[in-house]
Amino acid sequence: MKFLRDQVDKLKPTFSEGGKLSFLHSTFDAFETFLFVPNHTTKNGSHIRDGIDLKRTMFIVVIAMIPALLFGMWNVGHQQSLALTGTDGDLFNNFWVGLLQTLPIIIVSYAVGLGIEMGFAQFRGHPVNEGFLVTGMLIPLCMPPDVPLWMVGLATAFAVVIGKEVFGGTGMNLLNPALTARMFLYIGYPSSMSGDTVWAALPEGAATVDGYSGATALGNLASATSAGTGWSPDLLAGGSIMPAFWGNIQGSIGETSVVAILIGAVILIAAGVGSWKIMASTFIGGLFMGWIFNISGANGAWMDIPAMYHLIIGGFAFGAVFMATDPVSAAQTETGKWVYGFFIGVITVLIRVFNPGYPEGIMMAILLMNVFAPLIDYYVVQSNIKTRLKRVQV
């Protein structure tokens, strides 16, 4: 440790003001504080401070995503094996194939995002914020496995610049940056993102075996609803809800396995990092709206699917656990969090049911509620103000 510290101290003047590489000051600072918690001390005020900081907070979110990531890697290989040979493939090989497919996406996401963040930090004379540690992992997890790398880079750049930095950087953004990236690709390159074709990473020109189709539950349900045929479990991949729960189905890299996502949720809640209120209210909202449709008497695949299944298929769980809980773009008041999450659940199901041309509602629902979050907070704050004013009159 002493040796490393000496090396850092030796390098420091080069990057400090007046040094040759002072234009990389923020970047150096980011790496230095990553390696060493600085030797600063408090001034006045509270002389002692809590052991938690933003680095640790963000890192815990990254850890919480690891189960979904590892499962996603395996599943990418698994789906390729299914598509090419019709067999399950062996565990190690699947994982290896998936790793080769996903790692470049992760690297591109982090490289582009952190590069831009560091540039902005330097330009503004700010320290580099740790927020992108999370965004940089969320973006790959919500991409289809066969997404071209240039698309990942482009979407990441868009998300960081337009989604975050123009608002003033970490802590100021209105929209969830990772979903902004996803949205950018969805609108800009719909053919790659809509899930109409096979959603598996396949070698170029490879032919799939017979019977391997790209139909996902969301797509099946949407076309069944349009065609006016009713709900049946056959619409789900594998004819039951269990594959969607375990996650060995086609989908974006990290969002297929509800189990892996729930492990992440447990980590987030246990560490006190993710808001259990938002997660719970999102699930409650989805369940509630699904139940309303169940009892509405209207017929149709999307209306009659058991309400519980809404929470399991598609990206619902992933969105509720990792996307909706982003503290910056979510509602910031405790009461507001309940309202915010509830409406994400409700709107997700509404979009699924009423917009058959649209494969997934959670992305739209979260972004929409991101926009409404300040308004929700406004009313919560107003109610606190009103109580205070009422006190004067009594």
Partner 1 sequence: MGKNVKIKRGMDIPLEGQPENTIHSVKNPATFALKPKDFKGLIPKLNVKQGDEVKAGDCLFTDKGNSNICFTSPVSGEVADIVRGDRRAIMEVKILADSEMSYKAFDTSGYADKSRDEIKALMLEAGLWPFIVQRPFGVIADTEVSPKAIHVSGFDSAPLAADLSISLKGEEENLKTGFEVLQMLTDGKVHLNLHATKKSELYSQVSGVEVNTFTGPHPSGLVGLQINKIDPINKGDIIWTLKPQHVAFIGKFFATGNVNLEQTIVVAGSEMKAPAYYKTRLGANITTIVEGNLKQDNVRVISGNVLTGDRIAADGYLGFSDNQLSIIPEGDHYEMLGWLFPSYPRPTLSPSLPLSRFLKKKFKVNTNPHGEPRAYVVTGQYEKVMPMDIMPQQLVKAVMAKDLELMENLGIYEVIEEDMALCEFVCTSKIDVQKVLGEGLQLMAEES
125: contact with partner 1 by CB under 8 A: no
* Amino acid in position 160: V
22: contact with partner 1 by CB under 8 A: no
The one among 72, 77, 169, 219 contacting partner 1 by CB under 8 A: 169
The site that binds partner 1 (CB under 8 A) totals a number of residues, namely 59
Taking the complex as a whole, how short is the minimal distance between the CB of residue 162 and partner 1, in angstroms?
18
Taking the complex as a whole, how short is the minimal distance between the CB of residue 194 and partner 1, in angstroms?
33
207: contact with partner 1 by CB under 8 A: no
Distance CA 384, CA 374 (A): 15
Taking the complex as a whole, how short is the minimal distance between the CB of residue 43 and partner 1, in angstroms?
8
Taking the complex as a whole, how short is the minimal distance between the CB of residue 87 and partner 1, in angstroms?
41
Report yes or no: 345 and 303 within 8 Å, Cβ to Cβ. Answer: no
381: contact with partner 1 by CB under 8 A: yes
Measured in whole angstroms, how far is the alpha carbon of residue 280 from the centre of its chain?
17
Distance CA 248, CA 259 (A): 11
188: contact with partner 1 by CB under 8 A: no
Taking the complex as a whole, how short is the minimal distance between the CB of residue 69 and partner 1, in angstroms?
19
The one among 76, 273, 301, 311 contacting partner 1 by CB under 8 A: 273
Distance CA 356, CA 376 (A): 29
The one among 21, 35, 149, 166 contacting partner 1 by CB under 8 A: 35
> Of 245, 243, 217, which Cα lies nearest the Cα of 308?
245
DSSP letter for each residue of 84-118 = HHSS---HHHHHHHHHHHHHHHHHHHHHHHHHHHH
The one among 21, 56, 166, 190 contacting partner 1 by CB under 8 A: 56
> Of 30, 379, 362, which Cα lies nearest the Cα of 176?
362
According to DSSP, residue 209 is labeled P
Q: Which stretch binds partner 1 (CB under 8 A): 35-43, 105-113, 247-255, 311-319?
A: 35-43
Q: Which of residues 327-366 bind partner 1 (CB under 8 A)?
A: 327-328, 330, 332-334, 337
Q: Which stretch binds partner 1 (CB under 8 A): 99-107, 268-276, 294-302, 313-321?
A: 268-276
CA count, 13 A, side-chain hemisphere, 119: 10
Which one, 63 or 202, has the nearer CB to partner 1?
Answer: 63
The one among 41, 191, 203, 297 contacting partner 1 by CB under 8 A: 41
Which one, 198 or 323, has the nearer CB to partner 1?
Answer: 323
Distance CA 62, CA 138 (A): 9
The one among 48, 187, 206, 295 contacting partner 1 by CB under 8 A: 48
Which one, 92 or 378, has the nearer CB to partner 1?
Answer: 378
The one among 21, 37, 227, 308 contacting partner 1 by CB under 8 A: 37
- Determine how many CB atoms are found less than 10 A away from the CB of residue 195: 20
298: contact with partner 1 by CB under 8 A: no
Distance CA 37, CA 277 (A): 32
Distance CA 161, CA 288 (A): 36
The one among 17, 20, 45, 204 contacting partner 1 by CB under 8 A: 45
Report yes or no: 188 and 174 within 8 Å, Cβ to Cβ. Answer: no
166: contact with partner 1 by CB under 8 A: no
Distance CA 131, CA 276 (A): 20
For residue 293, count CB atoms less than 10 angstroms from its CB and return exposed for 0-12, middle for 13-18, buried for 19 or more. Answer: buried
What residue ranges bind partner 1 (CB under 8 A)? 1, 4-5, 33-57, 59-60, 127, 129-131, 169-172, 270-273, 275, 327-328, 330, 332-334, 337, 377, 381, 384-385, 387-389, 391-392
